[in-house]
Structure 1
């Protein structure tokens, strides 16, 4: 516990010390219990107030018309109190879903010397790009990516929707309904399941993923609040042909295939790069059964970052370079009956990426369970 003497009421301190000096420790403890109860009550009230605030902000964002937008921006223009979060990522997602870009550009482009709209603007900028808006057609949006206080992680993203961003799953919400992912299913097209029984011989390859690389690969499921995710990277001495990967994966020293055996279910399909990008984007942006996700702007960022790490793009690569690298990578989507996965419908998936030089296999496994 922190030392709070400097912040305590002088009257309270005097009373407590008097009781302690008189040997009345029970009174001191009773005061502590009373304050604990007050803190618990205040915490519950604060949680309820935040829930109510979120609903009010949601109503203003979704309600059509200039006035509702003006009143919403008035909330952002205020100096927010301690602990108050108007959730600009979420608000930007709602505004992009329910309003036309032409109706947003004027009010959002007004002078904001304090930078209180910075986070909302840059998130909204990328939400609109995801929805196919040509932001260059609105000169007022040119300053939305500039923030008053330093740089911003979203500045790395391209100003146009990339060729891989074509199968985007976007939310559909109302005042009372939220967004939930439709879940993940392995497609029937492109199936390359290895024949069973598979070999029981284990691969001698060793996981070489560093902590930083591991964290970057799992960035999308982490951002989406999925229950658990892991990553592995294996480097080979010789080139691996894509048609060898389906049989090789179940033999690798990975928790997501441990105990699978020679006949356990292991289903796999080759996927185009844009399908993998969309899977990562939906994971990050829409979230899990118990998490609202990172929403569109940051979902876009973390989908790209996971894809960069999986495809072995250089650490300092631009989004355009990552896209070129991803297109030369061979992608696989798999499911497994290994105990690592929950194996409930729509809650598990694995991604494997064979790098362009065919000497590196990276794997991401995610499950929406703890």
Structure 2
């Protein structure tokens, strides 16, 4: 390729097709090799720029005070950088953790500026609501539900923190690191472990979950990018009493309990719905091993979606309707020693929801692994 010029783009356009037609396939292959090498080098440089941009944004977001806020917002509005480290949901999470609500309300929600930052505002509003900020105290926050884009996915969420959201976990971040974790393990209170040996007879019930219902139930786990998850819905011929659920669950046709012997560990506890919501929210917002989840605003959305699917709320239900259905349901948290589960504390769990009429049992199993 002695005649190859440094302008690879020009060579590709002017030489590749002609040389191939002349039978010089080697020339074309070597041209491709040079292009591949340059592509790899450029991609590496782009990744490094992304890391550096993310660090700049993190420094500004974690530095308290209106000066840093204004500079960050101006940068995001003017340059609109891309990459995970500058996503609005991530930046909003950092701001909510490290800045005063008064500063955020007066600066970020000032609609005279930053007209391209509605996604950031939508995420930040939900971050603040979950942290217990009273939006009525701050006029810019109070007016946001009236001026926010109706098409935004987060517009479905309630504008005030609901009772089932009152006990949530957030990560702790600094300039160079972070700490987070999904609450794991069964509590001592509410335990309903069935006696052993359990029956080895399998239930005749069959899963009737539609694709849409399945997607709703697993929404929080998939958003958190956990290792594996699955969901099932069973409709018994007769109503199931809550006290019957612990003995029924190990017999159901679900891969998560396949191979569970009569004396293998199967532990279960009845839980209040707010603790189930807390678990689903942490799963989605903080993520599984090797990732940081979708953060609080979208974690809130996907936790609500999973609660809706598990509780059997009708399609198109409002958050208030979902909460009412969930509060009237009976909730269980279980663990089992089977091959499907990873069986490390905080890395797997099962959730079951019995409908208010006791004629529908929905199950979610989640497992995370490195």
Identify the TM-score tier after normalising by the shorter chain.
over 0.9
Within 1, Cα distance between the matches of 2:143 and 2:37? 48
- CA pair 315-289 structure 1, distance change in 2 beyond 3 A: same
1:236 and 2:236 matched:
yes
SS at match of 1:78: helix
- Alignment match, 2:80: 80
**1:1-370 alignment, distance < 5 Å:** 9-80=9-80, 86-111=86-111, 115-145=115-145, 151-369=151-369
Name segments (4+ residues, structure 1) moved above 6 Å: 81-85, 146-149
SS at match of 2:232: strand
TM-score (norm 1): 0.93
- CA pair 358-68 structure 1, distance change in 2 beyond 3 A: same
SS at match of 2:173: coil
Q: Report the CA distance between 1:126 and its aligned residue.
A: 0.5
Q: Is the 8 A contact 1:114 1:148 kept in 2?
A: no
- Deviation track 1:162-202 (CA, whole Å, cap 9, x = no partner) reads 01112111122111122321441111111000000000110
Q: Report the CA distance between 1:78 and its aligned residue.
A: 1.4
Within 2, Cα distance between the matches of 1:197 and 1:83? 53
TM-score (norm 2): 0.93
Q: Report the CA distance between 1:48 and its aligned residue.
A: 2.0
Within 1, Cα distance between the matches of 2:246 and 2:85? 46
- Deviation track 1:28-50 (CA, whole Å, cap 9, x = no partner) reads 11010110111112222222221
- Deviation track 1:61-83 (CA, whole Å, cap 9, x = no partner) reads 00112221111101221143676
Within 1, Cα distance between the matches of 2:279 and 2:73? 33
- CA pair 83-281 structure 1, distance change in 2 beyond 3 A: closer
- CA pair 250-328 structure 1, distance change in 2 beyond 3 A: same
- CA pair 22-149 structure 1, distance change in 2 beyond 3 A: farther
Provide structure 1 residue ranges, at least 5 long, that are not aligned to the other structure: 1-7
Q: Report the CA distance between 1:145 and its aligned residue.
A: 4.4
Q: Is the 8 A contact 1:193 1:267 kept in 2?
A: yes
Within 1, Cα distance between the matches of 2:144 and 2:85? 20
Q: Is the 8 A contact 1:121 1:145 kept in 2?
A: no
Q: Is the 8 A contact 1:228 1:366 kept in 2?
A: yes
RMSD across aligned C-alpha pairs, in angstroms? Answer: 1.9
Q: Report the CA distance between 1:139 and its aligned residue.
A: 1.3
Paired residues, what number?
363
Within 2, Cα distance between the matches of 1:149 and 1:33? 47
Within 2, Cα distance between the matches of 1:141 and 1:129? 10
Q: Is the 8 A contact 1:337 1:343 kept in 2?
A: yes
- Deviation track 1:143-163 (CA, whole Å, cap 9, x = no partner) reads 544678761111111111101
Q: Is the 8 A contact 1:287 1:294 kept in 2?
A: yes
Q: Is the 8 A contact 1:183 1:347 kept in 2?
A: no
Q: Is the 8 A contact 1:61 1:72 kept in 2?
A: yes
- CA pair 237-191 structure 1, distance change in 2 beyond 3 A: same
Q: Is the 8 A contact 1:118 1:147 kept in 2?
A: no
Provide structure 2 residue ranges, at least 5 long, that are not aligned to the other structure: 1-7
Q: Is the 8 A contact 2:154 2:297 kept in 1?
A: yes
